[in-house]
Amino acid sequence: MELLFEKSRKGRRCDLLPPLDVPPAHLMAGMERETPLDLPELSEVDLTRHYSALERRAHGVNNGFYPLGSCTMKYNPRINEELSALPGFTGVHPTQSADTAQGCLEVLYLAEELLCEITGMDAMTFQPAAGAHGEFTALLMVKKYHLDRGDTARTKILVPDSAHGTNPASAAMCGFTVVNVPSNPDGGVDLEALKAAAGPDTAALMLTNPNTLGLFDPNILEITQIVHDAGGLCYYDGANLNAVMGVVRPGDMGFDLVHLNLHKTFSTPHGGGGPGSGPVGCKKFLQDFLPVFHVEEGGDGLEFKDPAKSIGSVKVFYGNFTVVVKALAYILTLGAQGIPEAAKGAVLNANYLREQLRGTYDIAYGDGPCMHEFVLTLHDLKKQTGVSAMDVAKALIDHGIHPPTMYFPLIVEEALMFEPTETESRETLDEAAAVLRDIRAQADADPESLHTAPHTTPIGRPDEVKAARHPVLRYTPPEGKA
Amino acid sequence: MGSYQPSTQEERQAMLEAIGCQSMDDLYAQVPPQMRLDHLDLPDGKSELEVRRILEGIAAKNTVFPSVFRGAGAYKHYIPAIVKSVTSKETFVTAYTPYQAELSQGVLQSIFEYQTMICALTGMDASNASIYDGASAAAEAVAMCRDRKRSTVLISAAAHPMVRRTVETYCFGNGMEVKTVPVKNGFTDTQALTDLLDDTVACFYLQQPNYFGRIEAAKELGEAAHAAGAKFIMGVNPIAMAVLKTPGECGADIAVGEGQPLGMPLSFGGPYLGFMAATSALTRKLPGRIVGETTDHDGRRAYVLTLQAREQHIRREKASSNVCSNQALCAMTAAVYLAAVGPDGLRQVAERCMAHARYAAQKVCDVPGFDMVYPGPYFHEFVTTCPCKPEKLLTGLAKRGILGPLPLEDGNLLWCATEMNTRDEIDALEQAIREVV
């Protein structure tokens, strides 16, 4: 398909602005741009057809099942989109005085109150724009907290080997050294290894619970106790909160800080990779370290206050505000009963799909029930048939199903991680299971056809090595056409 | 109450039985019983109509000013209808990061087109797929410049205060030292910069146009930084790039900026867009997602996420950054905006901004007590004195439906005009100021 630049025709345009009604202004010589501005020239109809064609070459939750593990691709309610687009929200300038922005402040205040109840935390910031940004924010708070106590020895962050890659990367951005903690044979944190690793140099533990294997760690209270006894803080990566919201709270598991992914757990859409929202909640003793612009009640209504020992600011203004509006609408819709019901539905759907696949595929750590997601290991299948996790994932595409997360977590070989979410029906799960069983049969009968899947998409498997070795990161017009 | 679950209570019970469970509690067997919640202290769930009424009520508590003469990092521009129409397409809204290239060519191609446009705007070699906003882009750019011997950052005091604050906060994390280059007459002080530059300086960050709207001698300042072996980062207004010397032309190593003016509403500060582009020498240090062109096994042109060896899911603690979700839909918004206005249209928007700002400056300064603080060239923001308490002026203007200028710490006022402010509106502003003061 042609790029916008290839469709461009000199002189085409959309007519957008009225004639100039004041005297023109000019720049002084020497300040002006010299290079021609190479933007495409298109009419509105060119544009709408272009993007409609691109839309047909993409896959969203509206197109079909999207069991991408650890990403919580649940349905994104349309009412939330409408409400976040109200002119009463989108038309507000971020530096307006508090008395003219009480509605926006109320959104943040209310969302904080509700999410603190859901997480068992005492205060929250909405400044972080994504989950990884929230991790970074929380770890800066950890750093500042220890330094504020005059404890300069706490330079290490404990991270289980099953953790998301963002955890160690966030720790490194804060100047911490990462200590990997191995998993035990049940897939949980190895307590002896944790005891050995925790000490006077421990700043914090970062933990996802349920973890990336979809398992709730039954030793969670002991885990957080070990870290606290060593003087470290416990940080909860909220990526997997969808399994347990309303059932059990990070605050009650012993965690001191938590980040949430509003774009996972609280139904705000992923937008092809953002904007998300990664609020960070904390217990009272850490509240003074939150980023600037915390909403509080003042004499004349709500207002922003900078916490006394704030880490500072991780972005401009107050976060991805309209994303918070969407999450707030979702929480108000579900309410006290709906929140745990959604979690339970997610866990039920994952267990149901997993049981449909038992016997067809090997399940990693598959003895007890799973939480909201589960991991298949195709190690033996690959040995027997040559069909890899990648092959099965790509074959799903031909059946209109978005592949699960591949080759993650790293501690499982040939991993496929499925997270169906609560917003899928039994029929969808049954169909997916049937497709996966067919693919398994095909692995014996015709493995070659799986190696070359998908067959129904605009392109086949791309050459990623070529892309990385000889990077072409922008369009360059052919010679003579510039 | 809704939970958006299609399955009925009966279906769920049947599914439980199908997997050999009696109740949901069996599935939470791993959760220690003493930790489980009885109930959540939240309001009861509500219908769609109730939630609509609640949030419409909350939105109605905000004032949306019909007339805005304030920028300071968030700018009111015209958003063509096609922009919202394209970016509200369900598939674009609900897709995840395009890991699966075969199924995501639409999203990947749109990012590739965005990257190309950002390169065109900034005059740089390579752009990433976006970062959270202009401030975090600046902070990430600073982190890119660090090396073993150089870990000091020089940042102009004429950069947006929140950008400076964000850079300082990121540097509290990574241990880089931040020093501020003072301002003289509304410009970054060249002599002070030269004095601060030494062999520990990793980079110098300059905002163009600067926080006061002024057009800096970027090329000369960048040359000074380079002469001392430091990298040169420019934070630029994307609309101004249609008319101003680009970071590429000024010799910048990295260009970043706040992309909000490219089709994003004010939205109380977000979601916005951080754009980020670099010279080819620095491409592999860029944070976040990058889309590249390649071919599939049949030789068809294809787009993929590439240079992933930089990224957290491969390199973990050795990654160039922790970025995972970025601002993809905002990047698409910017791309549709730029394609809709085109090269002539963007220049027109920039020239209107300048013309309206000049007309507004003249009208404001016709009122006694309001004078331009800095002589000389500016883009669409300017600073004036204020003969009264700024609060008095702002309250009076607000009563007349006008969001007035941002008061600065020194008591002066930072004004902004864009293509949205008509001549009539500016004339009405002058009238309003006279009535208030």
Q: What is the pLDDT of residues A375-389, one digit of tens each?
A: 999 999 999 999 999
| Structure-block tokens of residue B152 | 């000091």
- The CA–CA distances, whole Å, from A356 to A66, A396, B246 equal 17, 16, 58
When mean pLDDT is compared across A300-304, A406-410, B330-334, the lowest value belongs to A406-410
Q: Which of B59, B105, B258 sits opposite A103 (nearest CB)?
A: B59
Distance CA B134, CA B327 (A): 11
Alpha carbon distance B395, B403 (integer Å): 9
CA distance A31 to chain B (A): 6
Tell me the β-bridge partners of A202. Answer: A156
Neighbours of B1 (CB within 10 A): 15
| B178-201 confidence digits (pLDDT tens) | 999 999 999 999 999 999 999 999
Task: Tell me the residues of chain B between 5 and 64 that have a Cβ less than 8 Å away from chain A.
Answer: 5-7, 11-12, 14-16, 18-21, 24, 26-32, 35-37, 39-48, 51-52, 54-56, 58-64
* In contact, B277 and B334? CB cutoff 8 Å: no
The answer to whether the Cβ–Cβ distance between B32 and A221 falls below 8 Å is yes
Task: Provide CB contacts within 8 A for A211, sequence distance 6+.
Answer: A160, A162, A163, A187, A188, A217, A240, A409
Q: Which of B37, B102, B244 sits opposite A247 (nearest CB)?
A: B37
Q: Give DSSP secondary structure letters for A37-82.
A: -------HHHHHHHHHHHHHT---TTTS---BTTS------HHHHH
- Using the predicted structure, report yes or no on whether residue B145 has a pLDDT greater than 60: yes
Evaluate if residue A481 carries a pLDDT over 60: no
The CA distance from B247 to B302, in Å, is 30
- The answer to whether A318 contacts B326, with C-beta atoms less than 8 Å apart, is no
CA distance A298 to chain B (A): 17
Q: Report chain A's mean pLDDT, rounded to a whole number.
A: 96
- Does position A479 have pLDDT exceeding 80, yes or no? no
CB of B429 within 8 Å of a chain A CB? The answer is no
pLDDT in tens, B24-69: 888 999 999 999 999 999 999 999 999 999 999 999 999 999 999 9
Query: Cα separation of A399 and A235, whole Å?
Result: 39
User: Per-residue pLDDT averaged across B240-267, rounded?
Assistant: 98
Indicate the residue of B12, B215, B317 with minimum beta-carbon distance to A31: B215
Contacts of A62 in chain B (CB under 8 A): 90-91, 94
B293 interfaces chain A, CB cutoff of 8 Å: yes
Pick the more confident residue, B122 or B311.
B122
Length of chain A counted residue by residue = 482
- Using a CB-CB cut-off of 8 Å, the residues of chain B touching A59 are 91, 95, 100, 103-104
- Mean pLDDT in residue range A104-130: 98
Probe site for chain A from B40, B155, B280 (most A CB atoms < 10 A):
B40
Contact A95 B300 (CB under 8 A): no
A136 vs A139: CA distance, rounded Å: 5
Residue A181: its chain B contacts at CB < 8 A? none
Say yes or no to pLDDT of A482 above 70: no
Q: What is the pLDDT of residue A29?
A: 85
Q: Output the pLDDT for position B25.
A: 86
Cβ–Cβ under 8 Å, residues A375 and A363: yes
Paired tokens of B311: 């990224």
Quick one: fold of B67-78+342-436?
Aspartate Aminotransferase, domain 1 (3.90.1150)
Angle of the B161-174 helix axis to the B134-144 helix axis, nearest 10:
40
Tell me whether B166 touches chain A (CB under 8 Å).
Answer: yes
Residue B321 or residue A38, greater confidence:
A38
Residue from A43, A65, A95, A106 whose CB has the most chain B CBs within 10 Å, to mutate: A95
Residue B276 near residue B122, CB atoms below 8 Å: no
| Alpha-carbon span A393 to A443, nearest angstrom | 12
Question: Is residue B154 a contact partner of residue B279, using CB atoms and an 8 Å limit?
Answer: no
Task: Report residue A354: phi and psi, to 5°.
Answer: -60, -40
pLDDT at B63: 98
Model pLDDT, residue B60: 98
* Cα–Cα dist B111/B116, whole Å: 9
Chain A, window 416-455: residues with a beta carbon less than 8 angstroms from a chain B beta carbon: 422-426, 452, 454
SS3 state of residue B85: helix
What is this structure's pTM? Answer: 0.98
Q: For A128-135, what is the mean pLDDT? A: 97
List the 178-207 stretch of B: residues with Cβ below 8 A of A. none
In chain B, where the domains are located = 67-78+342-436, 81-335
d(CA A389, CA A386): 10
B227, pLDDT greater than 60: yes
**C-alpha pair distances (Å), B209 with each of A34, B234, B238, B244, B269:** 17, 10, 10, 9, 20
* B317, pLDDT greater than 70: yes
- For residue B415, the cross-strand partners are B382
Percentage of chain A modeled with pLDDT above 70 = 99
| Interface contact B354-A27, CB threshold 8 A | yes
Q: What domains are there in chain A, each with its CATH number? A: 79-334 (3.40.640.10), 337-456 (3.90.1150.10)
Alpha helices in B95-156 (DSSP H): 105-122, 134-144
pLDDT mean across residues, chain B: 96
C-beta atoms of B43 and A337 within 8 A: no
| B320, pLDDT greater than 90 | no
Using the beta-carbon criterion (under 8 Å), do A94 and B74 form an inter-chain contact? Answer: yes
User: What angle, rounded to 10 degrees, do the helices at A389-397 and A426-445 form?
Assistant: 120
A25: closest chain B residue by CA: B355
Largest Cα–Cα separation, chain A: 77
Residues of B within 8 A of A276 (CB-CB) are 325
CB contact under 8 A, A246 and B40: yes
pLDDT score recorded for residue A71: 95
Mean local confidence (pLDDT), B1-12? 89
Our CA dihedral for B314, B318, B323, B324, rounded to 10 degrees, sits at: 20
Among A73, A91, A107, beta carbon nearest to B266: A91
Reference A349, options A423, A295, A240, A414; nearest CA is: A423
Q: Tell me the pLDDT band of B1, cut-offs 50, 70 and 90.
A: low
Domains B67-78+342-436 and B81-335 share a fold: no
The answer to whether the CB atoms of B269 and A319 lie below 8 A apart is: yes
- pLDDT tens for residues B342-364? 999 999 999 999 999 999 999 99
Rounded to a whole number of angstroms, the distance from the CA of A385 to the nearest CA of chain B is 22
Q: For A239-289, what is each residue's pLDDT tens digit? A: 999 999 999 999 999 999 999 999 999 999 999 999 999 999 999 999 999
Q: Which residues of chain A are within 8 Å of residue B58 when distances are taken between CB atoms?
A: 88, 103, 106-107, 110
Fold classification of B81-335 is: Aspartate Aminotransferase; domain 2 (3.40.640)
Using a CB-CB cut-off of 8 Å, the residues of chain A touching B340 are 14, 16, 42, 44, 47
pLDDT band of B98, cuts 50, 70, 90: very high
The minimal CB distance from A94 to the residues B91, B268, B301 is found for B268
pLDDT tens sequence across A348-361:
999 999 999 999 99
Whether B210 and B188 have beta carbons less than 8 Å apart is answered as yes
Chain A neighbors of B126, CB-CB under 8 A: 471, 473-474
Answer for the pair A331, B43: CB distance below 8 angstroms, yes or no: no
Please name the residue of chain B whose CA is at the shortest distance from the CA of residue A214: B30
Q: Which two tokens stand for residue B215?
A: 């057009």
**Do the strands B187-188 and B381-384 form a parallel or antiparallel pair, or are they unpaired?**
unpaired
d(CA B238, CA B261): 7
Residue B380, Cβ density class (10 Å: 0-12 exposed, 13-18 middle, ≥19 buried):
buried
Interface contact flag, A467 B306, Cβ < 8 Å: yes
Residues 295-314 of B with CB under 8 A from A: 295-298, 300-304, 306-309, 311-314
